[in-house]
A and B are shown apart, each in its own frame.
Chain A
Amino acid sequence: MTASPGFHACAVVPSHDHWRVVGAVVAALRAEGLPVFVVDDGSAEPARTVLAALHDPAGGVTVHRLAVNQGKGAAVMEGFRLARAAGFTHAVQVDADGQHDLAAVPRLLALARRHPHAVVTGRPVYDDSIPTGRAIGRWITHVWVWVETLSFRLRDTMCGFRVYPLAPVDSLLATGVAVGRRMDFDTEIMVRLFWRGTPVAELPVRVTYPPDNTSNFDTLRDNLRISWMHTRLVFTMLARLPSILANRPPPLDIPPPKGPSHWAGLGERGLYWGLRFCAAAYRLFGRRGCMAVLAPIVLYFYLTGTEQRRVSRAFLARAFAAKGIARAPGWWDGYRHFLSFAGRALDTFAAWTGGMDAGTVEPAEVDALRVAEASAQGAVFIVAHVGNVDLSRALLDDAARRRLLVLVHTRHAENYNRVLREFNPEAAVNTFQVTEIGPDTAIALKERVEQGAWVVIAGDRTPVVVGGGAAGGRVSAVPFLGEPAPFSQGPYILASLLECPVYLLFCRRDGDRHRLYAERLAERIELPRQRRADALAAYAAAFASSLERHTLADPFQWYNFFDFWASGPTGDP
Chain B
Amino acid sequence: MVDLELEIKRLIVDSLKLEDIRPEDIDSLEPLFVEGLGLDSIDALELGIALRKRFGIKIDSATDNVKKHFFNVQSLAVFVHSQKAE
Q: In the complex, what residues of A have CB within 8 A of residue B42's CB?
A: 471, 474, 493, 527, 532
A441 at the interface (CB under 8 A from B): yes
Do A1 and B16 have beta carbons less than 8 Å apart? no
Do A24 and B41 have beta carbons less than 8 Å apart? no
B66 at the interface (CB under 8 A from A): yes
Decide: A471 near B35, CB < 8 A? Known: A28-B65, A31-B71: no
- Which of A32, A442, A527 gathers the greatest number of chain B CB atoms within 10 Å? A442
Which of B28-69 touch A at CB < 8 Å?
Answer: 31, 33-35, 41-42, 44-49, 51-52, 57-61, 64-68
A2 at the interface (CB under 8 A from B): yes
Q: In the bound complex, how far is the Cα of B16 from the Cα of A529, in angstroms?
A: 8
What class of interface size applies to chain A in its complex with B? 20 to 34
Q: In the complex, what residues of B have CB within 8 A of residue A24's CB?
A: 65
Do B67 and A440 have beta carbons less than 8 Å apart? no
Q: In the bound complex, how far is the Cα of B41 from the Cα of A281, in angstroms?
A: 48
Q: In the bound complex, how far is the Cα of B65 from the Cα of A484, in angstroms?
A: 37
Q: In the complex, what residues of B have CB within 8 A of residue A443's CB?
A: 48-49, 51-52, 57-59
Closest to B60 in A: A440
A438 at the interface (CB under 8 A from B): yes
Q: In the complex, what residues of A have CB within 8 A of residue B64's CB?
A: 440
Q: In the complex, what residues of A have CB within 8 A of residue B65's CB?
A: 24, 27-28, 31
Q: Interface residues of B, CB < 8 Å — how many?
A: 28
Do A33 and B45 have beta carbons less than 8 Å apart? no
Distance in angstroms from B10 CB to nearest chain A CB is 17
A106 at the interface (CB under 8 A from B): yes
Residues of B that sit less than 8 Å from A by CB: 16-17, 31, 33-35, 41-42, 44-49, 51-52, 57-61, 64-68, 70-71
29 example contacts (A-B, Cβ-Cβ < 8 A) are as follows: A24-B65, A27-B65, A27-B68, A28-B65, A28-B67, A31-B65, A31-B68, A31-B71, A102-B67, A106-B34, A438-B44, A438-B48, A438-B66, A439-B44, A439-B66, A440-B59, A442-B48, A443-B52, A444-B59, A444-B61, A447-B52, A469-B33, A469-B67, A470-B41, A471-B45, A493-B45, A497-B46, A497-B49, A532-B42
